[in-house]
């Protein structure tokens, strides 16, 4: 899901550059209004994606056991415990938080690049090729945060080093604040010159 939200963030950031609609939008709105609208769209779209995914997963969880022969996963060394409703909601909320933060960071990268193809290549290289860069690396932070709230992590997309919950939340706050500030300044200062 963070792959989807990262690409969503890039797409929202670069759409008006690709379609050259900023000049028309600036006739009626300020940079702050346009930027705020894009960020709110990003939050709403990401939340909608996660709510839809949670609903679909719940429906599949109810339907699938009746359609397939169940296997004992302990044969493969996997033990899963049933989640109660509170744990499921918390897991979805933490996953949604991670999705929003991922979308915001890559939204800022999209604003820097102005072209979605370049930003998506950078995103995919970072996600798939570059290893975990240490304790404060974004990938490490989100894996450590997610693993604190769920014991259902069967497969890890990359190895991570566990960090405290307070450090994880602090780093997430720094990432969000940094992405918003960087995105706004890049959006309002750098690109105003290129549109004139």
Tens digits of residue pLDDT in 139-180 = 778 777 777 766 555 455 566 777 888 888 888 888 888 888
Residue range 16-37, pLDDT digits in tens:
777 777 666 767 777 778 888 8
| Sequence-separated (6 or more) residues with CB below 8 Å from residue 162 | 144, 147
Q: What is the mean pLDDT of residues 108-115?
A: 82
Q: How many CB atoms lie within 10 A of CB 78?
A: 10
Contact, 154 vs 41, CB < 8 A? no
**CA atoms of 137 and 130, how far apart (whole Å):** 11
Helix 2-19 and helix 116-128, axial crossing angle in degrees, nearest 10: 160
Contact, 22 vs 16, CB < 8 A? yes
- Looking at the predicted structure, is the pLDDT value of residue 191 above 60? no
- Helix (H/G/I), strand (E/B), else coil: 157: coil
The 3-state secondary structure of 88-154 reads HHHHHHHHHHHHHHHHHHHHHHHHHHCCHHHHHHHHHHHHHCCCCCCCCCHHHHHHHHHHHHCCCCC
- Looking at the predicted structure, is the pLDDT value of residue 196 above 50? no
What are the structure tokens assigned to 43, written together? 């939050």
| In the chain, % of residues over pLDDT 90 | 3
DSSP 70: -
**CA atoms of 121 and 129, how far apart (whole Å):** 11
pTM of this prediction? 0.73
- Helix (H/G/I), strand (E/B), else coil: 83: coil
What are the structure tokens assigned to 168, written together? 């994880």
Domain positions in the chain are: 2-191
């Amino acid at each position: 899901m963070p792959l989807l939200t990262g690409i969503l963030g890039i797409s929202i950031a670069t759409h008006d550059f690709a379609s050259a609609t900023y000049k028309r939008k600036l006739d009626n709105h300020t940079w702050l209004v346009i930027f705020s609208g894009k960020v709110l769209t990003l939050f709403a779209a990401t939340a909608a994606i996660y709510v839809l995914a949670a609903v679909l997963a719940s429906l599949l969880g109810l339907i699938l056991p009746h359609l397939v022969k169940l296997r004992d996963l302990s044969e493969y060394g996997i033990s899963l415990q049933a989640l109660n409703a509170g744990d499921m909601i918390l897991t979805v909320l933490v996953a949604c938080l991670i999705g929003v933060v991922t979308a915001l960071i890559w939204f800022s990268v999209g604003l820097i690049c102005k072209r979605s193809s370049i930003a998506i290549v950078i995103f995919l290289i970072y996600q798939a090729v570059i290893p975990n860069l240490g304790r404060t690396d974004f990938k490490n932070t989100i894996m450590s945060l997610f693993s604190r709230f769920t014991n259902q992590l069967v497969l890890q997309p990359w190895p991570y080093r566990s960090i405290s919950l307070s450090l994880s939340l602090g780093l997430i706050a720094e990432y969000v604040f940094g992405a918003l500030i960087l995105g706004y300044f890049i959006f309002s200062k750098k690109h105003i010159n290129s549109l004139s």
